[in-house]
């Protein structure tokens, strides 16, 4: 595990964007695993800035997102497809056909999950996976449970996740209760994983994820077993870890 200590959120974003930059310089047809949420907003902004200055080309890049709410069409501003277009895809020269998220409006959830896993396989797996961290230790929407789910699956969101995500919705009742998430297997199979964490409220869970026992009750703890995990966190998130 490589630990990169950022001064603050801006610094964390710049460092994460630099890693994406390095990845695309080395492999211009990379498959990027992407996440949504507030942690990622500044990272996408910084990547767009580098793209705008002519440093990056996404023509041959493919992206696979971690998750999508069930029941929200892509036109709904709360859907993760909408988020990705607003915050990232609309600002770079990526071909829309190379951007993948689970279909939250699918008729057959099991079929959609299998299709998503097959898609990731057909792309040759993920070169670099960007991850945020949930307050309950979730990665993607792999919520705490009794097992690590290997494959893409439908998940019932935890009360704490619904509460945390309600900040993006008018009312907490509007937050979807279910989502499709990439499984732990596809995440762990990524060549490189970049876990980005900021803020004091994530300090206790970050400590457990990085140095606590590896268990499905703390899904992110499995990242300790990855061969090429890079953790970029700001000083607030590292507050409970002594270096």
> Is 149 tagged catalytic?
no
Give the residue with the Cβ less far from ligand F6R, 8 or 52: 8
Residue given tokens 């709410």 in the structure block = 69
CB of 133 to ligand F6R, least distance (A): 6
CB of 228 to ligand F6R, least distance (A): 19
Give the residue with the Cβ less far from ligand F6R, 44 or 51: 44
Give the residue with the Cβ less far from ligand F6R, 38 or 49: 38
Nearest to 84 by CA among 47, 114, 109: 47
> Is 138 tagged catalytic?
yes
Q: Which residues bind ligand F6R (CB under 6 A)?
A: 35-39, 66-67, 132-134, 138-140
**CA-to-CA distance for 188 and 139, rounded, in angstroms?**
11
> Is 91 tagged catalytic?
no
Catalytic site residue from 46, 68, 143, 234: 143
> Is 67 tagged catalytic?
yes
Neighbours of 36 (CB within 10 A): 25
Is 78 in contact with 86 (CB distance < 8 Å)? no
Catalytic site residue from 46, 68, 138, 236: 138
Residue given tokens 């277009």 in the structure block = 85
Is 5 in contact with 238 (CB distance < 8 Å)? yes
Catalytic residues: 67, 136, 138, 143
């Amino acid at each position: 595990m490589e630990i990169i200590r950022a001064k603050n959120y801006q610094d964390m974003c710049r460092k994460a964007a630099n890693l994406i930059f390095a990845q695309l310089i080395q492999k211009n047809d990379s498959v990027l695993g992407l996440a949504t949420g507030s942690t990622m907003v500044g990272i996408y902004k910084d990547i767009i800035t580098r793209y705008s200055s002519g440093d990056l080309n996404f023509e041959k890049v493919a992206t696979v997102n971690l998750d999508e709410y069930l029941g929200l069409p892509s036109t709904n501003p709360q859907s993760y497809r909408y988020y990705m277009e607003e915050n990232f895809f609309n600002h770079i020269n990526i071909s829309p056909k190379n951007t993948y998220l689970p279909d939250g409006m699918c008729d057959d959830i099991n079929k959609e999950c299998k299709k998503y896993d097959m898609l990731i396989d057909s792309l040759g797996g993920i070169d670099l996976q960007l991850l945020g961290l949930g307050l309950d230790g979730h990665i993607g929407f792999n919520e705490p449970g009794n097992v690590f789910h290997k494959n893409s699956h439908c998940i019932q969101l935890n009360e704490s996740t619904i509460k945390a995500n309600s900040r993006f919705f008018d009312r907490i009742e509007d937050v979807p209760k279910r989502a499709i998430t990439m499984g732990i297997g596809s995440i762990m199979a990524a060549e490189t994983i970049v876990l980005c964490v900021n803020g004091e409220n994530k300090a206790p869970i970050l400590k457990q994820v990085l140095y606590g026992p590896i268990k499905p009750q703390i899904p992110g703890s499995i990242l300790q077993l990855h061969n090429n995990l890079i953790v970029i966190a700001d000083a607030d998130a590292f507050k409970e870890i002594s270096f």
